[in-house]
């Protein structure tokens, strides 16, 4: 018992004497500055460098002494060792956090930590690619992810590496798909070129029915909706076509044809029976609306994958001279009247299957069909998987 008490007493005394010694060691005097600096040099440049010991000595010097631009020792330790040492270790820690976020597919964390890494590695294509992909993993992050996808495309096309992808095409397809999905809700027309680019690269996306369903919806909600509204504003008060409405109609028909092409590819690549059936129903309604029957539809679906994916069409600015029907609609336009409007169409045109058609007498005595409703928008929930 006495021995234990003596040991405790000795320990307490050592602690009492150690405290002032520690405090004294932090004083900025010439003796301590010399000791700190020599410890730093011995471990910074020694035969077996001990960077942690060198760092602790340098930090003791810098933290204990006030900043002095004339202190060459302090300047040397700070600029040549402490600042680079701290940067390396900070970047290493951040890089590990980023790597962990990638492995766990924590897309929000990838964006948060990746932004920090880009401060010191502004041209790191690998980071831009991962951040550009984050929106494909979590749709809520598409807006944040898009600028990084755009930068990744710029770097890859400039010759930078495309890892972690196996090919340049895969990287560019993925980044363009991010931009398409990030843009389509706010500007469907602007999203179309990104969808087209993503689908043209030789990757799995080229055979992804979901991409083509999204492209068809972009045509529907972007240029087709705009041209339909414009057509309504150009027809005559009596519902007949005018030269201006005919021009709009020609442009509208181009868009409907692009939408049909996108649906045909979605059907061709779909593998899920329920999804394929739903897409085919939308395609059939639109195809009949445009072509007055479903003749040739099966052939269109079968041949679509072998044909180049068309771009967004160039605007038609003038119409060629052509004979007109009694109702004033140019012949050869296949009777595609914008959905929800009334006006003259060639005889024999019908709306989508299941819609009511009829005739009413115009002032010229010709027949024109009643309003034809728009085929319903794609049932997206059924098109998630091929």
Query: pLDDT exceeding 70 applies to what percent of the chain?
Result: 76
Q: What is the mean pLDDT of residues 299-321?
A: 95
Q: What is the dihedral of CA 227, 230, 234, 238, to 10 degrees?
A: 90
Burial 276-313 (b: 16+ CB within 10 A, else e): bebbbbbbbbbbbbbbbeeeebeebbeebeeeebeebe
Q: Which residues contact 235 (CB under 8 A, 6 or more apart)?
A: 241, 242, 245, 341, 342, 343
Is residue 120 over pLDDT 70? Answer: yes
Is residue 159 over pLDDT 60? Answer: yes
Alpha-carbon dihedral sign for residues 53, 59, 61, 63: negative
Instruction: Lowest mean pLDDT of 5-9, 22-26, 138-142, 266-270, name the range.
Output: 5-9
pLDDT digits (tens, 9 = 90+) for 206-234: 999 999 999 999 999 999 999 999 999 99
pLDDT of residue 333: 39
Residue 90 three-state SS? helix
pLDDT of residue 55: 86
Query: Which segments of 265-312 are extended strands (E)?
Result: none
Instruction: Lowest mean pLDDT of 92-96, 153-157, 199-203, 289-293, name the range.
Output: 92-96
Is residue 3 over pLDDT 80? Answer: no
Q: Give the confidence band of 52 by pLDDT, cuts at 50, 70, 90.
A: confident
Give the end-to-end CA distance of the chain in Å, rounded to a whole number: 81
Between strands 359-361 and 367-369, the pairing is antiparallel
Q: Give the residue, 24 or 359, on which the prediction is more confident.
A: 24
pLDDT digits (tens, 9 = 90+) for 237-260: 999 999 999 999 999 999 999 999
Contact 359, 338 (CB under 8 A): no
Q: What is the mean pLDDT of residues 10-15?
A: 36
CA distances from 312 to 218, 224, 226, 324 (A): 11, 11, 14, 28
In Å, the largest CA–CA distance within the chain is 126
Q: Which of 226, 224, 228, 134 is nearest to 181 (CA)?
A: 134
pLDDT of residue 46: 65
Q: Which residues contact 354 (CB under 8 A, 6 or more apart)?
A: 285
Rounded CA-CA distance 274/78 in Å is: 67
- Enumerate the domain spans of the chain: 32-104
Q: What is the mean pLDDT of residues 318-335?
A: 50
Is residue 366 over pLDDT 50? Answer: no
pLDDT of residue 8: 38
Q: Which of 339, 331, 333 is nearest to 369 (CA)?
A: 339
In the predicted model, what is the mean pLDDT of the chain? 80
């Amino acid at each position: 018992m006495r021995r234990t008490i003596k040991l405790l007493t000795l320990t307490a005394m050592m602690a009492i004497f150690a405290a002032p010694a520690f405090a004294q060691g932090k004083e900025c005097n010439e003796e301590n500055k010399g000791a700190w600096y020599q410890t730093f040099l011995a471990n910074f440049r020694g035969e077996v460098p001990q960077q942690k010991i060198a760092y602790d000595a340098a930090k003791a010097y810098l933290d204990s002494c006030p900043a002095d631009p004339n202190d060459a020792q302090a300047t040397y330790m700070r600029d040549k060792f402490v600042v680079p040492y701290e940067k390396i270790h900070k970047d290493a820690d951040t890089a590990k956090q980023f790597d962990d976020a990638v492995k766990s597919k924590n897309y929000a964390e990838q964006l948060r930590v990746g932004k920090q890494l880009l401060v010191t590695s502004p041209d790191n294509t690998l980071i831009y690619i991962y951040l550009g992909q984050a929106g494909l993993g979590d749709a809520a992050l598409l807006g944040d992810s898009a600028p990084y996808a755009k930068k990744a495309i710029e770097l890859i096309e400039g010759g930078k590496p495309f890892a972690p992808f196996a090919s340049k095409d895969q990287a560019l397809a993925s980044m363009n798909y991010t931009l398409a999905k990030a843009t389509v809700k706010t500007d469907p027309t602007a999203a179309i070129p990104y969808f087209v680019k993503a689908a043209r690269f030789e990757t799995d996306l080229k055979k992804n029915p979901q991409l083509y369903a999204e492209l068809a919806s972009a045509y529907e909600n972007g240029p087709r909706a705009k041209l339909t509204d414009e057509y309504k504003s150009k027809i005559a008060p009596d519902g007949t076509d005018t030269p201006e409405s005919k021009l709009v109609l020609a442009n509208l028909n181009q868009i409907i044809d692009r939408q049909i092409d996108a649906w045909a590819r979605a059907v061709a690549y779909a593998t899920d029976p329920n999804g394929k059936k739903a897409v085919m129903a939308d395609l059939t309604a639109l195809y009949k609306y445009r072509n007055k029957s479903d003749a040739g539809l099966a052939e269109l679906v079968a041949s679509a994958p072998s044909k180049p994916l068309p771009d967004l069409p160039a605007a038609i600015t003038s119409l060629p001279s052509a004979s007109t029907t009694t109702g004033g609609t140019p012949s050869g336009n296949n009777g595609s009247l914008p959905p929800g409007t009334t006006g003259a169409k060639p005889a024999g045109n019908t709306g989508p299957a299941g819609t009511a058609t009829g005739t009413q007498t115009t002032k010229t005595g010709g027949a024109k069909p009643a309003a034809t409703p728009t085929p319903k928008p794609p049932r997206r929930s059924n098109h998630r998987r091929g």
